[in-house]
Amino acid sequence: MKWHLKYLLFAIVVMLCGCMFLPRVIPISELMPRQKTENASKEVVFPVVIGRFFDERSNRNFLGQYDTFGSAGTVTIVPDRDISEVFEAIARRSLKHKGIEEGRSIFSLKGAVQRANVGAMPMSRVMNAEVLLELTLVDSRTGARLWQKTFQGVATGHNPKTTLALAFQDMETSLDKDDSILALKQTFLASGGKLPEDIERKEPEVKKPVVDIHNIPDFKATPLANDLAVVIGIENYQGLPKSDFSKSDAGIVKDYLKALGFAERNIEFVTDEKATKSKIETA
């Protein structure tokens, strides 16, 4: 028990003296390169099933180390979660930019993280970062490897997070410049692969509202000699907002009544200034 207390006291003294440092945690969400500004391919070259990317490094929770000057000690750099997420997100974005989209396919893409490190040599203030990703495209029916490529990104700097982010940016640039995977389109089609159906995006046709009063029937109706009608169309009311097209609509109603057999002499047509109270009452 006494020995345990001695070790505990020694550890506390070491930490208080600055000889022991907590790991420096890098949030992987801050390692993604910025979104591209140029337009992506509008043509789907071929779809692909994208599997989960795997981190093949022996220590997945370790990114690197650097010495602290003025203190005796080394700082360890670690990610806050699985760094393979950054590799996968970059690969997906680069492939989609080329016209290779995720979907039902006879092709399957696998990703393997081979390197992801950042740190400085002893007695050096310069950070060096390197990331390395291997992509493999296989025929999911036979397991045959159709394409394989390794993409590297390197960078130097003075801040571990910034330097590692620049390395990822360099790797994405390498991915974007390599179009060798596009040559597999003919292989995809020859192997029975089918491209997504092209859907023409047409603007929906805007249909004007049709009211039956606009379609005055073209036929001779039985005359209605004894039927009377009063049609009033007032656009300018006193003390009220203007009622646009009321006079025009009243004219259409009059024509409609005539088509139904009303005699014109039996239709009292009153509009605007003629539509006085006395005129309406006597109509």
Is residue 166 one of the residues assigned to a domain?
Answer: yes
Domain that holds residue 150: 19-190
Looking at per-residue pLDDT, the higher value among 119 and 242 belongs to: 119
In this structure, are residues 130 and 115 in contact, taking their beta carbons and an 8 Å threshold?
yes
Is residue 3 one of the residues assigned to a domain?
Answer: no
Average pLDDT over residues 76-98: 95
pLDDT of 226 above 60: yes
Per-residue model confidence as pLDDT tens digits over 173-194: 999 999 999 999 998 888 777 7
Please state, in angstroms and as integers, the Cα–Cα distance from residue 275 to each residue in 77, 195, 232, 234, 247, following that order.
89, 69, 7, 7, 11
* Order of strands, sheet of 24-26, starting from the edge strand that comes earlier in the sequence: 24-26, 74-79, 64-67
Is residue 62 one of the residues assigned to a domain?
Answer: yes
pLDDT of 13 above 60: no
Are residues 264 and 159 part of one domain?
no
Are residues 146 and 24 part of one domain?
yes
- Helical H runs in the chain? 2-16, 84-98, 160-177, 185-190, 246-259, 277-282
Residues paired with 150 in a beta bridge: 134
pLDDT interval class at 279 (50, 70, 90): low
Task: Transcribe 145-180 into DSSP letters.
Answer: EEEEEEEEEEEEESSHHHHHHHHHHHHHHHHHH--G
Whole-number pLDDT of residue 268: 80
Please state, in angstroms and as integers, the Cα–Cα distance from residue 230 to each residue in 79, 259, 271, following that order.
84, 15, 11
CATH number at residue 178: 3.40.50
Whole-number pLDDT of residue 151: 98
Interatomic CA distance for residues 80 and 32, integer angstroms? 14
Are residues 256 and 120 part of one domain?
no
Whole-number pLDDT of residue 212: 52
Whole-number pLDDT of residue 251: 76
Mean pLDDT of the chain: 80
Is residue 229 one of the residues assigned to a domain?
Answer: yes
Are residues 171 and 242 part of one domain?
no
Interatomic CA distance for residues 77 and 83, integer angstroms? 13
Is residue 207 one of the residues assigned to a domain?
Answer: no
Beta strands 54-55 and 107-119, pairing class: parallel
